[in-house]
Amino acid sequence: MARVVVDVMPKPEILDPQGQAVANALPRLGFDGVTAVRQGKHFELEVADDVDDATLAKIAETFLANPVIEDWTVRRVEA
Amino acid sequence: MRVGVITFPGTLDDVDAQRAVRYADGEAVPLWHADRDLQNVDAVIVPGGFSYGDYLRAGAIARFAPVMQEVVEAAHKGMPVLGICNGFQVLAEAHLLPGALTRNHELHFVCRDQWLRVENNTTAWTTRYDRDAEILVPLKSGEGSYQADADTLKQLEDENRIVFRYVGENPNGSLNDIAGISNARGNVVGLMPHPEHAIDALTGPTDDGLGMFLSLLDLVVNA
């Protein structure tokens, strides 16, 4: 088994109201100096060893992310 | 006229969509998400709600339901398909319509009666309206902000595929005030507001939404 991490982020040109809301809340909580926040999704997949990179990319592109509005990265990590 | 209305786990507005079909003298045929059979319907409505709990993204899981595989195939052959609210999100995820629906720009769930302008009255679902007619129907959604890249937006504008636009203040941050769009052929239409909730002044703000279902009836009767 391998552990695979897929990170999905809104594209830079797409408005991210959730990230903005977090950024706007930080000064109110007394945390200064954070100029921008983008909010995305982080997936951890446990996959069999015979699942290849092309398949992982397809999972990310066709399902975990919507490429119209989101960018994605896939990486294998130590379990 | 037999009109299929899909029910996914988490669908809410299938009953009102069926009622709207009956108001237009059509036969409403319930379609279950796990069935591959469209039961010889003449058209399909993908109604609103929170299919599969909106997990992952709204519409992302519903897109892969067995019934949707059949809907995609039928739509490509020209069958009229209407996606309302969550149904619009499902059709976008299924690539029957371009772009995507994202969180409302101010993060509020918007629930109100909303004026729309009919910008294209040549689609399968809008021939009963005058061009530039303004209609009042409920809008109730948290992820209704229409987003697409500049090329897609230009194509939609150039090809007259923006079917409905919000009138007055933009309720959710949709680009170009887009409330609904169609595919190139005009048989597939998706919109965030709810025409099926506005078919009788007794139960909705107006009966302005009924025209969408009557338009479909005209199409099938005249075919």
Give dist(CA B163, CA A77) in Å, integer: 47
**Tally of domains in chain A:** 1
| CATH level 2 (architecture), domain B2-222 | 3-Layer(aba) Sandwich (3.40)
Stretch (H or E) spanning B162: strand B162-166
HSE, side-chain direction, 13 A CA sphere, residue A68 = 23
Strands B188-191 and B178-182: antiparallel
User: How do residues B176-204 score in pLDDT, each as one tens digit?
Assistant: 999 999 999 999 999 999 999 999 999 99
- Judge whether B79 and B96 are in contact, CB under 8 Å: no
Which among A35, A29, A65 has a CA at the least distance from the CA of B100? Answer: A65
Q: What CATH number does the domain containing A42 carry? A: 3.30.1280.10
Provide the b/e sequence for B66-93 (b: ≥16 CB within 10 Å).
ebbebbbebbeeebbbbbbbbbbbbbbb
Q: Per-residue confidence at B18, pLDDT binned at 50, 70, 90?
A: very high
**Model ipTM value:** 0.86
Q: What is the pLDDT of residue B120?
A: 98
Contact A69 B100 (CB under 8 A): yes
B60, B72, B67: which is closest to B30 by C-alpha?
A: B67
Buried b / exposed e across B94-106, counting CB within 10 Å, b at 16+?
Answer: bebbbbbbbbbbe
Burial A28-41 (b: 16+ CB within 10 A, else e): eeeeeeeeeeeeee
Containing domain of residue A43, as a range? 2-77
Residues of B in contact with A21 (CB under 8 A): 107
Give A64's contacts in chain B (Cβ within 8 Å): 56
Between CA B24 and CA B11 the distance in angstroms is 22
Q: What DSSP state is assigned to residue B184? A: T
B114-165 pLDDT tens trace? 999 999 999 999 999 999 999 999 999 999 999 999 999 999 999 999 999 9
Residue A25 touches partner B, C-beta closer than 8 Å = no
Chain B positions touching A66 (Cβ under 8 A) are 57, 60, 93, 100
CA–CA distance, B134 with B155 (Å, rounded to integer) = 24
Give CA–CA dist A68/B171, Å, rounded. Answer: 22
Q: Mark yes or no for CB contact B105/A21 under 8 Å.
A: no
Nearest chain B residue (CA) to A17: B105
Residues from B contacting A (CB-CB < 8 Å) are 56-57, 60, 64, 92-93, 98-100, 102-107, 145, 147-149, 173
Task: Name the residue in chain B with its Cα closest to that of A69.
Answer: B100
